[in-house]
Structure 1
Amino acid sequence: MAKTRKGTPCWYELATTDPTGAAAFYGHVLGWTTADAGMPGFDYRLASSGDDMVAGITPGSPPAWIFYVTVTDCGKAAKAVVKAGGAILNGPMEVPGTGTVAILADPQGARFGILAPLDDAGRAFDQKQAGHGNWHELMTSDPAAAMAFYGKEFGWKPSRSMDMGAMGSYDIFNHAKADIGGMMRQAPGMPGPGHPFWVPYFGCDSVEAAMARVTAGGGRVFMGPQEVPGGAVIMVGQDPLGAIFALVGPR
């Protein structure tokens, strides 16, 4: 196996009650093209942005996004998560031509995946390309404990915090010298499943234009367009089947 940098976001996966409808929605919003993965007996769609595969779409309920991070040994990484208070939800299992994967939960209950790739993990995460993963936001019951957990397991480091008033702080973390996400306390009444969860942000050329496509496609916009420090604009919304996602782009 090629040398892998542990803790790099590498894949995005949507479980949904209507994979065909979800593929059409994200194709309209983000320009993704979708093709069947060709796995006998398993409905798995591969979504691409240009030449890069960026996400998988598969049957599942309730509809929700997760993302995967790279590890060097999937079995050992999964056992370490359990030892730290998390849980194994599925796997580890080998995916032909890809590597070994597992779906896990952190100690607060937020779900995520890990991948020990056979070779190059791909370019699903690329903060310079529209249609790719760009940011990862954790809504959690205990941001401090979550930051310590992901720091220990994947080498993520606290970067800076922003005061959110009554909502507490927004704690940004980095990996490989780049800020890649943030964590905040999940407040009562926030959109979402009611338990800690990750929200993936996908890059786009214009958040305002993408928001119009979200609503035209039957989705909802909870927040945005909102400018954030650094000059980018974000929106947080929900696809027509109920999965929470977000978009980020230039002003």
Structure 2
Amino acid sequence: MTKSGFVWYELMTNGALDAAVSFYKHVAGWDIRDSGMPGMQYMIFGKDGKDVGGMMSWKAVGQPDMPTEWVAHIYTANVDAEVEAVVKDGGTQIQPPRDIPGVGRFAVVTDPQGAKFLLFQPGQAYAPPRLAQNEVGNVGWHELITTDWEKAWEFYSKHYGWQKDFAMDMKEMGIYQTFRIDTDRYIGAMMNIPPFMKDLKPGWLFYFQVADADAGAKRITENGGTITHGPMDVPGGSRIVQGIDPQGGRFALVSTSSTAPAYGA
């Protein structure tokens, strides 16, 4: 398990969990199974025997009125100390640290601009096999849209040791700053909320790796989702499509050519 970045992803849905499972099984091509967690339906998704994340309903945790959303866990060696540090640096605690028996310890926080994420401290024996970054089924890209990406960058780089890669000037949309963790390839980017998306709140958008983004776009609409942007080519040889699932959750798909040059090459 990587020790400097995203280690687990979760869908929290305000609708029927079975419907969400069906949608993403068809759209992202995931293998999805019940975790067997006592007293709660928690579905685990992944590919080829390698887990990527889980799905559950807000109703299961007593909050049925919360909007559907995708969230991610960031690794920390000491979740209790990290929550204190996050709050000290302007973030907020949404849920205090709690144990998941046999798995690890987690907490829910926001960064100083209000983007939600989770902290995860794995148990000593918890080290599931992982997909490579650009393998189909994994999350291939992490995108933070926020009110002040430079301040956000100061926060994440200080707390998690992330490094800047290259920056793209997207004209009226501003700077798109890519970053990397402990890998040899950038894994995401940060930017300010564009003027035409001014009603959007700060948050992370996750791009699920698929074999063909255009085919994925077709699956989105065929299964009741909505396309909000794309499909389109982006620098580096990738093709993306952004969408909203039938229960209101924002997500994206990305396909990557193995022969395409990297960003900045």
Q: Establish whether TM, by shorter chain, passes 0.5.
A: yes
- Are 2:173 and 2:195, in contact at CA under 8 Å, matched by a contact in 1? no
Residue 14 (structure 2) aligns with: 17
Residue 151 (structure 2) aligns with: 145
Aligned equivalents of 1:125 and 1:149: distance in 2?
27
- Are 1:151 and 1:157, in contact at CA under 8 Å, matched by a contact in 2? yes
Structure 1 residues 78 and 127: CA distance shift in structure 2, 3 A: same
Match among 204, 207, 211 for residue 201 of structure 1: 207
Structure 1 residues 90 and 126: CA distance shift in structure 2, 3 A: farther
Aligned equivalents of 1:122 and 1:114: distance in 2?
17
- Are 1:54 and 1:132, in contact at CA under 8 Å, matched by a contact in 2? yes
Shift of 1:30: 1.4
TM-score, normalised via structure 2 length? 0.88
Residue 170 (structure 1) aligns with: 176
Aligned equivalents of 1:50 and 1:36: distance in 2?
16
- Are 1:11 and 1:125, in contact at CA under 8 Å, matched by a contact in 2? no
Q: What amino acid maps onto 1:133 in structure 2?
A: V
The equivalences for 1:117-132 within 5 A come to 117-118=122-123, 119-123=125-129, 126-132=132-138
Question: Bigger CA drift: 172-181 or 32-41?
Answer: 32-41
RMSD, matched Cα: 1.7
**Number of aligned positions between the proteins:** 247
* Structure 1 residues without counterparts, runs of 5 or longer: none
Question: Bigger CA drift: 20-29 or 182-191?
Answer: 182-191
Aligned equivalents of 1:108 and 1:121: distance in 2?
32
Residue 100 (structure 1) aligns with: 105
Is 2:73 the partner of 1:68? Answer: yes
Aligned equivalents of 1:227 and 1:242: distance in 2?
25
Match among 202, 219, 230 for residue 224 of structure 1: 230
Aligned equivalents of 1:23 and 1:68: distance in 2?
20
- Are 1:232 and 1:248, in contact at CA under 8 Å, matched by a contact in 2? yes
Shift of 1:5: 5.0
Shift of 1:102: 1.0
Percent of aligned pairs sharing the same letter:
38
